[in-house]
Chain A
Amino acid sequence: MRVVIAEDQVLLRAGLARLFEDAGHEVTATVGDADALLSAVARDEPDLVVADVRMPPTFSDEGARAAGQIREEHPGVGVLVLSQHVETQHAVALVSRGGFGYLLKDRVLDVQEFIDAAERVCRGGSALDPQVVATLVSPNGGDDRLADLTAREREVLALVAEGLTNSGIAKRLFLTVNTVETHVRSVLMKLDIPGTDDGHRRVLAVLAYLRSAQPQHQH
């Protein structure tokens, strides 16, 4: 993968770059703000962008907005947004469009899972932070159908929402792929989500469902 990294803190930027390089990927540029990011993307046409949500000058959501712009202008570029804390609002909105990832920053410490997620996003898949997913699939949202799921089914649903494939889920839960498939089908049926064999589209459908199950959305 050819990666562009946008992060305003120098140490962290360098650490991220090393992380990708250690994993055998090429880091074409490391930048400190959204404008530099946009020009680096236009210049390098990378496979993946890793961007901090908060960047100068206002430290609010420059990274997220730049990410959206990149997805629109360069559909081939996957975007992985890193955040210091859980922001359900932005996260779900971004990720449910595909080719997006949204992870908490400390996920980078779990190198293998992080690189997996990055590669998934690079291929057009999704990656949504487990903590964000946890609030989405919480039975407190007021959706009765989520409450109907068994604990195992909710676990599987959460991993689907994180963007994992059946085999990824199987590996994570120490189950066979067949068992996972059975659970997934059951979940989709209970939630009345149309089934599809395409892994990516299934994730998006699940996310769209979870998103609509959330009370009162703004975006």
Chain B
Amino acid sequence: MLLVRRSSAWPWVLAAGAVGLGALAVVLNALAGVRGDPWWQVVLGVSALLTSGAVGLLIALRRPGHRIGWLLLGNALVLGAAFLASSYGEYALLERPGALPGARWAALWDSSSWPLLFAGVTAIALVFPGGSLPSPRWRRTATGVGVSFAALIVAELFTASPLNAPFRQVASPLPALPHAVITPLLAVGYLGVLASLLAAAWAVRVRFRRAIGIERLQLKWLAYGACLIPATFLVCFAGVDGAAAFTALFMLMLVVVPVSVGIAILRFRLYDIDRLIDRTLVYAVLTLLLAGAYVATTLALAVAVGSGSAWTTAGATLATAVAFRPLRTRVQNVVDRRFNRARYDGRRQVEGFLSNLRAGRAAPESIQGVLADALGDARLELRFWLPEGEVYVDARGRAVLDSPEDTRARTPVRRGGVPLAMILHDAALDERPDLIQSVVEAAGLAIEIARLRVELRRQLDEVEASRARIVAAGYEERRRIERDLHDGAQQRLVSVGLTLRHAQHELGAHSNGVGGILDGAVAEIGDAIAELRELARGVRPSQLDDGLAPALRELAGRASLPVKVEATADRFPGALEAAAYFVASEGLTNVVKHAHASRVVVCAARDDGSLVISIADDGVGGAAPARGSGLAGLADRVNAQGGTLRLESAPGRGTTLTVELPCAS
């Protein structure tokens, strides 16, 4: 409790202190009038102080154990102190001398504390992003850095040299140390601080090479902000008004680095760094090119039309405006190709696939392979989300369960906020969220189409399966009815007949004509049994119990024309045998009715996982499956079991009906 209270109060105290120093400095600077710092310096200085303080406060509040929050708060205090010292000195020494006490101390601090402005950034770079040094061996380096900065500040405080502008005339309140002490101290300080800056850069580099995933992104943020340091030197070398430009860029760096660090530590929009770098590069290059184009066009037009003409400006502007869009695409491609090869290739692969898709050269379902290629992960898997079944399925529509042992990373694909699919990929790809995002974004439409097709196919499969089940249930029902007729009604009738016969026997010679009546009754029963048997056979021939071949032979034996049966003795699933039997039965009925044939051959054979049944006659041919005919009904029944029906019936050349029923259904 105590710890929490303290850790939540101290950041506020430090931040408030820094802001207080800054506010005081702004007031004094205003009072100093023309002797004060120029307005842009004030704006940049206050911005640097506020960003450092705000980000430091935020980090220290959210993650109290994290050193970088405290370092940033310290940096804000240092900035506030430096700013205040400068303003205080300018007001109390230059504008209104003697108005405030201790003005010389302020001037001294303004002249000597500058190394501290680098110290914050250096310390942050050394411990970024985790808050500790890259390795224990760096401890000595850290000590060296501390000693160097301390030595330089001490040397600056006790040097005999005059104070920095604008306090050159002011005498230091501290005594000067002899040259013999100051010179080596200065040398150690300057070289040490320079080495410290290099060491800080080296630390970032070392970490970056070892880093994966989020840490890599964090370091990229820091590097992005710190890029302003070399930029500062470049500007100085370029000879632009040295001091002012240096100050401006340095302060800008002091604004940008805390923001970058904040984003990196707090992980707010952490993943945007790659896009930011990319955009920066693209727009920097684009700006240079467009500016060049503008200048070149202006010069060319000036030569042609004469300078100063309004047409020159208008023409150059127009040329630049026209060039913008195509140039932007080109530059983006060049930047991607040079700095983001994987993303460039990935997007191009997906775009190539999309154009193949539009031209009908590719199937949407192959999107998984395209993504695997584009992202360079052969084990990549795309699972489509089916909201109806609340289940993920593969490209063939089979449900896949997410196993907890599967260590691959998962990236959801959404479109308009609606989940479409889940990509399972190598966890290493998480380091390139921009790559995944870019490729998935490009492939979004194809994924959606593939998902819809998979969903449709799955629904179709379900409908087909249920149709097959219904047909199979129909066959099973026929079997049950046939059994019931044979074993129930028929046997009961036989029993009744036997009872009547017994009665007849008991009556014996004294029947008085009753015997004749009973004979008639028994004969009626016999007819009823024969009719029942016929009925049962029509429902389903009981020979099917023994297999297709006996059933077909029985069927052939009843036909009114010669039927040759060539049937395999193999057994098949019941519904399949029944289907084949009814195909043959319907086919034979058609032959008898329409073909005027003299012979029929019925074949049933196993062929490569299918039961093939054919009915061939030598009749007139010319048969066609008319709507509502027996043949059309037959085709429906065959389709329901995933089979195919083929009819060859050239006029005068007989008819062959061939039906193929897959066994594995």
Chain A residues close to B by CB (< 8 Å): 9, 11-12, 15-16, 18-19, 22, 54, 59-60, 84-90, 104-106, 108-111, 134-135, 138-142, 214-216, 218
B502 and A22 within 8 A (CB)? yes
Q: Are B501 and A9 in contact (CB under 8 A)?
A: no
Tell me whether A12 and B494 are in contact (CB under 8 A): yes
A140 touches B494 (CB 8 A): no
| 11 A-B pairs (CB sep. < 8 Å) | A15-B494, A87-B542, A87-B546, A89-B546, A106-B493, A108-B498, A135-B558, A138-B557, A140-B559, A140-B561, A215-B564
* Residue from A16, A109, A215 within 8 A of B553 (CB atoms): A215
The reply to whether B537 and A85 contact each other, CB–CB distance below 8 Å, is yes
Q: Would you call B44 an interface residue if the criterion is a C-beta within 8 Å of the partner chain's C-beta atoms? A: no
CB of B565 within 8 A of CB of A84, answer: no
Chain A residues with Cβ below 8 Å from B493 are 106
Q: Could you tell me the distance between the alpha carbons of A9 and B491 in the complex, rounded to whole angstroms?
A: 8
B612 at interface by CB-CB < 8 Å: no
Within 8 A of A (CB), among B236-292: none
Which of the 9-residue segments B60-68, B432-440, B525-533 touches chain A?
B525-533
Contact A12 B501 (CB under 8 A): no
The residue on B at minimum CB distance from A147 is B562
Known pairs A18-B502, A60-B545, A140-B562. 8 more at Cβ < 8 A?
A84-B487, A84-B491, A88-B553, A89-B543, A106-B530, A134-B557, A141-B557, A216-B565
Q: Please name all residues of chain B whose beta carbon is closer than 8 Å to the beta carbon of A141 when the two chains form the complex.
A: 556-557
The interface residues of chain A lying within 8 Å CB-to-CB of B490 are 84, 105-106
Expressed in whole angstroms, the minimum distance between the Cβ of A189 and any Cβ of chain B is 24
List the A residue with the shortest CB-CB distance to B537. A85
For residue A214, which residues in chain B have a CB less than 8 angstroms away from its CB?
553
In the complex with contacts A12-B495, A141-B557, A89-B550 CB distance below 8 A: yes
| B499 interfacial contact with A, CB 8 Å | yes
**Do A11 and B487 touch across chains, with their CB atoms under 8 A apart?**
no
In contact, A84 and B486 (Cβ under 8 angstroms): yes
Give Cα distance in the complex from A84 to B561, angstroms.
27
Q: Once the chains bind, are B557 and A109 in contact (CB under 8 Å)?
A: no
How many Å lie between the Cα of A216 and that of B545 in the bound state? 18
Q: Using a CB–CB distance below 8 Å, which chain B residues touch chain A?
A: 483, 486-487, 490-495, 497-499, 501-502, 505, 522, 525-526, 529-530, 533, 536-537, 542-543, 545-547, 549-550, 553-554, 556-559, 561-567, 569
Rounded to whole angstroms, the CA-CA distance of A11 and B486 in the bound complex is 15
Residues of A within 8 A of B556 (CB): 140-141
Q: Across the interface, which residues of B come within 8 angstroms of A60, CB to CB?
A: 545
A12 touches B498 (CB 8 A): yes
Nearest A residue to B522 via CB reads: A109
Chain B residues positioned under 8 Å from A19 (CB to CB) = 498, 501-502
- Least CB distance, B521 to chain A, in whole angstroms: 10
Closest Cβ of chain A to B478, distance in Å, is 14
For residue A9, which residues in chain B have a CB less than 8 angstroms away from its CB?
Answer: 487, 491, 495
Nearest residue (CB) in A for B498 is A15
CA distance A216 to B549 in the complex (A): 9
B501 touches A109 (CB 8 A): yes
B562–A218 contact, CB under 8 A? Answer: no
Q: How far in angstroms is the closest Cβ of chain B from A116?
A: 15
Complex CA–CA separation, A151 to B526 (angstroms): 26
B562 touches A142 (CB 8 A): yes
Q: Give the chain A neighbours of B505 by CB distance below 8 A.
A: 22
- Among A59, A106, A110, A139, the residue within 8 A (CB) of B487 is A59
Asked if A216 and B569 sit within 8 Å, CB to CB, the answer is yes
CB-based contact B501/A111 at 8 Å: yes
Residues from chain A with a CB closer than 8 A to the CB of B549 are: 216, 218
Contact indicator B499/A15 (Cβ below 8 Å): yes
Instruction: Count chain A CB atoms within 10 A of each CB in B501, B525, B565 and give the residue with the most.
Output: B501
Most buried by A among B494, B497, B569: B494
Docked Cα-Cα span, A9 to B542, in Å, equals 19
In the bound assembly, the distance between CA atoms of A87 and B554 in angstroms comes to 9
Across the interface, which residues of B come within 8 angstroms of A110, CB to CB?
526
User: Which chain B residues lie closer than 8 Å to A18 at the CB level?
Assistant: 498, 502
Instruction: Give bound CA distance, A59 to B525, whole Å.
Output: 25
Asked if B492 and A11 sit within 8 Å, CB to CB, the answer is yes
A109 to chain B, nearest CB (A): 4
User: Considering only CB atoms, which chain B residue lies closest to A9 in the complex?
Assistant: B491
**A15 pairs with B502, CB closer than 8 A:** yes
Q: In the assembly, what is the distance between CA of A141 and CA of B536, in Å?
A: 24
Nearest-neighbour CB distance to chain A for B378, whole angstroms, equals 53
